[in-house]
Structure 1
Amino acid sequence: MKKLSSISLAAVLAVLAAPAFADELNVVCSNEQDWCDLMASNFEAATGIDVAMVRKSTGETLAQVRAEAGNPKIDVWWGGTGDPHLIAAAEDLTEASGADTSALLPWAVNIAEISSGKTIGIHAGALGIAYNADVLAEKGLKAPACWKDLADPAYKGEIQVANPNSSGTAYTELATLTQLFGEDEAFKLLAEIGANVNQYTKSGSAPSKAAARGETTISIGFMHDMVNLRKSGFPLEIVAPCEGTGYEVGGVSVIKGAKNPDAAKKWVDFVLTAEAQQAGLQVGVYNVPSNSGATLDPDSPDLSSIKLIDYDFATYGASDTRERLLARWDAEVKGAGGAVEE
């Protein structure tokens, strides 16, 4: 991705020129907590609208949105992988915000087009493998380079990954391997990797944090989260799997029947600006922003140099596909080893 220079506050000010329509907004955030808090604070400062924010994983949020259909407690859902956002859109649980997407990169606009404007891409990130170099050396293990390497019995008890029922990150892994290898071969591989997994976490970023601390040797997650940990001084090495890898396009969605719909749409307009997106660098957010004018950190993953699959968001963002794959994961992978659940 081309790294572009910083822009002025003009774009944000233009978005916020109109007076606020409400003085409160209820947001569920599926990004990292620091990024959730910063965006809420910046939005409040810019608009005067008070934000009540809760952080939840994408799977948890989708379940809540479904449960509250017709009487939602959430106004807007920001962040997390795009697949659950697309499912919510297909189930008519969200509504189009009418936001201007002209400044966004093509992959962000694609998500909006698939969902008829009900969700819009806010960032992208590639899936990868991380390992703690110190722990790996102490145990005399070979560094993994490919997805299939993770099935090596030498890694028994050394791998941590999230549960795809709660984590969009882990569902992206499940969908990625299915697209790479075909469904039956993918589940065979997932079960073999599962035999080496020590814990299935609720959050997609938790495994790499554990690897950074030396609590596990290897993790699966998004590369931008791994970059943040490495820049913080942890001995993490980041691997783009040799066979190729999938990627996420994080989404933002206005909940259908929201109590504060105008404020929710104002949130969408705000989070799509370059200034709002690049503020994430202040708290270690190294994914690729969707606004073409946003500044990238030099250490952010370069998507153009990674072997990315042609990820099929329409298929793997469909509720029937997701439910079938998750049911099969529960039956064939979850109990494949001695992994505990968070």
Structure 2
Amino acid sequence: MGRSAPLLAIAALIVLWDAASASAQQTLTVAGYGGSFEQTMRKEVIPDFEKAHKVKVEYVAGNSTDTLAKLQAQKANQVIDVAIVDDGPMYQAIQLGFCGKIAGLPGDDLYPSARFKDDKAVAIGLVATGLMYNTKVFKEKSWAAPTSWNDLKDPKYRKTIVIPPINNTYGLYTLVMFARLNGGGEKDIEPGFKVMKADVNPNVLAYEPSPGKMTELFESGQGLLAVWGSGRVQSFANTGFPVDFVYPKEGAVTLLASACPVARANASPLASQFIEAMLQPKLQLILLKDYGYGPVNKKVEVPPELARMAPVGDRAAKLINPDWDTINAHRDEWTKRWNREVER
């Protein structure tokens, strides 16, 4: 009898420990974009997944470089289960060993361009990088809609243009496109820096990374023209604000919104299941409707009313695919130079 109390106490502790472990295993941490994308995830994606899998999903919002930095900072003890980032940072994450293999990927249903090597990641949506403009103000000023990347150099837009910085994919693509349009490219970025400093920078109101602040600058009437993604512009237009997206005549640039299960000790199989859920036709349509993503699942039938801005059909086929191997090899160097010479 004397030993029964300690034994009962030990048994109770074991039960509590098991319960705590089970509870901990039932939390899935997803790191992804903020702004309207986060709203769609919290409203349309996460609740159904939590209900179906009896799991609590913690969503951590941040841009792609923020999420990559978290993975690097936590590499000894990863907290994130699923990372959603742009394709460039995703290639870096894979190279650094942060991504595990996706289990159960519905490969036959996906466009080949959506798949990453060894299924270490997959695109969940196709985005075009181009121009956004305030249709109401342009009409009031009798300005023609922009048609070209070179419109960013027009002096009439002085201090009304908003471009994300180079640590954001949209800003990086702006630099690359001006290099390409002026005799250079990813392997010769000098022409891009020359045009950005001399011709574009005088017109820039702000180099703004935050989606929320980007829309605020337009809503206040300060921003009239911007470099942004088709998905972001679609979400902004869905609020009723008078903006439209332009595929520049020289070409819009491909951006793959991508997801990977984070390689970590005792990785949860729910990470792959969460990614797989986002590839199903139902959720692909939601991402198209709410966020303007071009579907990566071949089985998605796109209603004509949802295809106004999204990169689908011929528009998707004509997108420019950047050389990410070269970009990632020089990105730190370009970032330091951008901060020193462009965004001062």
Question: Quick check: 214-223 or 204-213, which moved more?
Answer: 204-213
Distance of aligned partners of 1:294 and 1:198 in 2 relative to their CA distance in 1, 3 Å threshold: same
Distance of aligned partners of 1:185 and 1:204 in 2 relative to their CA distance in 1, 3 Å threshold: farther
Amino acid at match of 1:97: I
Whether 1:325 aligns to 2:326 is no
Distance of aligned partners of 1:263 and 1:237 in 2 relative to their CA distance in 1, 3 Å threshold: closer
Question: Quick check: 145-154 or 197-206, which moved more?
Answer: 197-206
Partner residue of 2:225 out of 213, 218, 221 = 218
Residues in 1 aligned to 2:159 and 2:91: alpha-carbon distance in whole angstroms:
34
Equivalent residues of 1:131, 1:237 under 8 A apart: yes
Whether 1:262 aligns to 2:269 is yes
Equivalent residues of 1:129, 1:219 under 8 A apart: yes
User: Normalising by the residue count of structure 2, what TM-score does the alignment of the two structures yield?
Assistant: 0.80
Equivalent residues of 2:179, 2:192 under 8 A apart: yes
Match of 2:18 in 1: none
Residues in 2 aligned to 1:177 and 1:308: alpha-carbon distance in whole angstroms:
16
Match of 1:10 in 2: none
User: Normalising by the residue count of structure 1, what TM-score does the alignment of the two structures yield?
Assistant: 0.81
Residues in 1 aligned to 2:89 and 2:155: alpha-carbon distance in whole angstroms:
33
Q: State the Cα deviation string for residues 14-70 of structure 1 (Å, max 9, x = none).
A: xxxxxxx94220111126221221322221122111101111110111111111112
**Aligned-partner SS, 1:278:** helix
Match of 1:47 in 2: 53
Structure 1 alignment gaps of length 5 or more: 1-20, 336-342
Shift of 1:190: 2.0
- RCO greater where, 1 or 2, for CA within 8 Å and sep 6 or more? 1
Match of 1:87 in 2: 92
Looking at CA atoms only, which structure, 1 or 2, has the larger radius of gyration?
A: 2
Distance of aligned partners of 1:64 and 1:156 in 2 relative to their CA distance in 1, 3 Å threshold: same
Shift of 1:200: 1.6
Identity of aligned residues (%): 24
Whether 1:117 aligns to 2:131 is no
Equivalent residues of 2:166, 2:335 under 8 A apart: yes
**Aligned-partner SS, 2:297:** coil
Residues in 1 aligned to 2:276 and 2:48: alpha-carbon distance in whole angstroms:
13
Amino acid at match of 2:248: P
Match of 1:126 in 2: 128
Distance of aligned partners of 1:302 and 1:63 in 2 relative to their CA distance in 1, 3 Å threshold: closer
Partner residue of 2:102 out of 97, 100, 116 = 97
Match of 1:171 in 2: 172
Q: State the Cα deviation string for residues 260-305 of structure 1 (Å, max 9, x = none).
A: 43221221222222223223356x2211121112243232424444
* Correspondences of 1:262-301 after superposition (within 5 Å): 262-281=269-288, 284-296=290-302, 297-301=306-310
Match of 2:202 in 1: 195
Equivalent residues of 1:212, 1:235 under 8 A apart: no
Q: State the Cα deviation string for residues 220-273 of structure 1 (Å, max 9, x = none).
A: 101232233334322223221122221101110122215543221221222222
- The structure whose residues are more often helix, as a share, is 2
Residues in 1 aligned to 2:47 and 2:178: alpha-carbon distance in whole angstroms:
38
Match of 2:138 in 1: 136
Match of 2:66 in 1: 60
Distance of aligned partners of 1:208 and 1:314 in 2 relative to their CA distance in 1, 3 Å threshold: farther
Equivalent residues of 1:132, 1:211 under 8 A apart: yes
Shift of 1:104: 0.7
Match of 1:75 in 2: 81
Match of 1:313 in 2: 324
Match of 2:6 in 1: none
Shift of 1:85: 0.9
Whether 1:34 aligns to 2:48 is no
Equivalent residues of 1:123, 1:289 under 8 A apart: yes
| C-alpha RMSD over aligned residues | 2.5
Partner residue of 2:26 out of 1, 23, 27 = 23
